[in-house]
């Protein structure tokens, strides 16, 4: 079942890419494995998944200890607490959810001690929902300017989570806004900032996100089935 689901998702990615005149290879699938048992994750890996997304540091730590990092890339896609920063360097290849200067400074300080540079994305709250994490769009340029001076991390793009809606078309405006915001930030030409990546789109709307420019889509339910927390 998981192998069939994964094949279906990959086919949908390729179809959405073709529809928007994009190379399917320019889009990477993050199989969201949070709350998923290791045996099911192993099935996905056997079926060809290579990039896994986790949102809880302690949970990820246990899974990575068992499943390893060889031929697997692990991304952190959840809200990152500053007291967990010290653990992320041995676990994750990319952090999707840097949303405030204080967190970035904590990552920078810890990275400097390890003589590392950690790739990150900046989470933007394009919908303005009070319950959502992310920097406000109007504050993004100032945050990026501050992050450009921190050599312990390297900004590679932006991430957003829109309001959940059963109609995926209703997500389009949020994804278009993130792409347009990214394009404006590129025009600002902030030193040491790369914005090649757009992490957007989940199980119910990832094809729409691809049509609007996503380079990373975070898909869990469509691969693994529903989780105990009913996350999408």
pLDDT confidence of residue 229: 57
Identify the residue with better confidence: 143 or 230.
143
Distance between start and end Cα atoms, the chain: 18
| Residues 118-162: tens digit of each pLDDT | 999 999 999 999 889 999 999 999 999 999 999 999 999 999 999
Grade residue 227 by pLDDT with cuts at 50, 70 and 90: confident
Domains and CATH numbers, the chain: 2-224 (3.20.20.10)
* CA distance linking residue 220 with residue 166, whole number of Å: 16
Identify the residue with better confidence: 210 or 227.
210
**E-strand stretches of 59-195:** 73-76, 94-98, 118-123, 153-159
Tokens representing 65 are: 């200890």
| Residues 168-181: tens digit of each pLDDT | 999 999 999 999 99
pLDDT confidence of residue 230: 45
| Residues 48-83: tens digit of each pLDDT | 999 999 999 999 999 999 999 999 999 999 999 999
| Residues 3-38: tens digit of each pLDDT | 999 999 999 999 999 999 999 999 999 999 999 999
> pLDDT at residue 232 above 90?
no
* CA distance linking residue 155 with residue 196, whole number of Å: 9
Asked if residue 52 lies in contact with residue 73, where contact means CB atoms within 8 angstroms, the answer is yes
- Other Cβ atoms less than 10 A from the Cβ of 90: the count is 10
- Other Cβ atoms less than 10 A from the Cβ of 46: the count is 11
Report the percentage of the chain scoring pLDDT > 70. Answer: 98
Q: Strand pairing partners for 51?
A: 73
Asked if residue 221 lies in contact with residue 205, where contact means CB atoms within 8 angstroms, the answer is no
Please, which contacts does 41-50 make with residues 24 or more away whose CB atoms are closer than 8 Å? 41/67, 42/67, 43/2, 43/3, 44/2, 44/3, 44/6, 44/223, 44/224, 45/72, 46/3, 47/2, 47/3, 47/6, 47/7, 48/6, 48/10, 49/6, 49/223
* Average pLDDT estimate for 172-191: 97
Tokens representing 226 are: 């529903």
């Amino acid at each position: 079942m998981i192998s069939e689901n994964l094949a279906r998702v990959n086919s949908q990615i390729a179809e959405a890419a073709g529809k928007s005149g994009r190379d399917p290879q320019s889009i990477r699938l993050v199989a969201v494995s949070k709350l998923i048992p290791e045996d099911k994750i192993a099935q996905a890996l056997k079926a060809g998944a290579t990039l896994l997304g986790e949102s809880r540091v302690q949970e990820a730590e246990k899974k990575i200890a068992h499943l390893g990092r060889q031929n697997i890339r692990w991304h952190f896609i959840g809200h990152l607490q500053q007291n967990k920063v010290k653990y992320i360097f041995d676990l994750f290849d990319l952090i999707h959810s840097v949303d405030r200067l204080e967190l970035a400074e904590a990552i920078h300080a810890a990275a400097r001690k390890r003589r590392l540079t950690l790739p990150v994305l900046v989470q933007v709250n394009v919908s303005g929902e009070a319950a959502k994490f992310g920097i406000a769009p109007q504050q993004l340029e100032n945050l990026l300017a501050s992050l450009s001076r921190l050599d312990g991390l390297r900004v590679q793009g932006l991430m957003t989570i829109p309001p959940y809606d059963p109609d995926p078309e209703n997500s389009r405006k949020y994804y278009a806004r993130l792409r347009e915001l990214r394009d404006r930030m590129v025009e600002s030409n902030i030193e040491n900032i790369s914005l090649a990546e757009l992490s957007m789109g989940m199980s119910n709307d990832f094809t729409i996100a691809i049509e609007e420019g996503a380079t990373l889509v975070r898909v869990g339910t469509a691969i693994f089935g529903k989780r105990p927390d009913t996350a999408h």
